[in-house]
Amino acid sequence: MHSLWRTLDRGTLRDIALVCLADAMVGAAFGAIAVSGGLPPWVPVVMSLLVFAGGAQFAAVGVVLSGGAPIAAVAAGLVLNARLLPFGFAIGDVLGGRWWTRLTGAHLMTDEAVAFVLRDGDPRRRHAAFWACGLGLFVSWNAAVVLGALAGRGIGDTDALGLDAAFPAVLLALVLPSLAERNVRNAALRRACVLGALVAVAATPFLPAGLPVLLALIGLVLATRAPAPLPDREVR
């Protein structure tokens, strides 16, 4: 664990801390919304510990608070979380080789942690960024949900603070720099991303939340025609 902090530069740790702070504010809102909607405080708290996926937690609680059946809440959350399956295949190697690091690391996998991993090409820094982001978010998110659930109605409107723009802004700021690098391989990747995003947005009015993002994988047809992959340490 000690080497984890030495591997990451201060800038990366600062970035991770900021993401933890932004997510903590959303977590506090989640706890407050669940409790002020009438759920007992243990529901948001236990859910955050065991599910640990913000979007799915909001979706599931939203279904229940609007009078939906628990099974519908579970289904809505699982569809939203299905993207974690391809994420796990893409970055599963950063969790380390031991069985217990894979068991615990898997639970810490979030969009943000995946984006921090993809930002870096160096295996050691990818590993360290994943664990720092995963552990930091787990602690800050769950602590914030407890505080939000205790505060109840006291938490203000996070939309007024623009925090709903912070989540896409964080992911964009982490993924865009490598996409913007000009090389042949990136051209195919950019085309795949644009097509995927267009498909996902176009499908949103018609499909349950979560499925449009999975449909974005259609964009991969534009990436398979890319030139044969080079080893990791290619010229950039």
Partner 1 sequence: MPLLAVVALAAGTYAFRLAGPVLRHRLRLPGRLRHLLSVAATVLLIALVATSALTEGHGFAGWARPAGVLVAGILTLRKAPFPLIVVLAAATTAVLRLLGVP
Please tell me the distance from the alpha carbon of residue 190 to that of residue 231, in angstroms, as a whole number: 19
CB 226 within 8 Å of CB 183: no
CB of 106 to partner 1, least distance (A): 4
Choice between 39 and 147, CB closer to partner 1:
39
117 closest CA partner among 105, 104, 128, 102: 128
CB of 131 to partner 1, least distance (A): 13
In sequence order, the 6+-apart residues with CB closer than 8 A to the CB of 72 are: 63
In sequence order, the 6+-apart residues with CB closer than 8 A to the CB of 30 are: 44, 48, 54, 57, 58, 61, 145, 148
CB of 183 to partner 1, least distance (A): 14
Choice between 139 and 220, CB closer to partner 1:
220
CB 5 within 8 Å of CB 122: no
Choice between 39 and 146, CB closer to partner 1:
39
Choice between 2 and 68, CB closer to partner 1:
68
CB of 162 to partner 1, least distance (A): 3
Choice between 154 and 156, CB closer to partner 1:
156
Please tell me the distance from the alpha carbon of residue 76 to that of residue 209, in angstroms, as a whole number: 7
CB of 30 to partner 1, least distance (A): 13
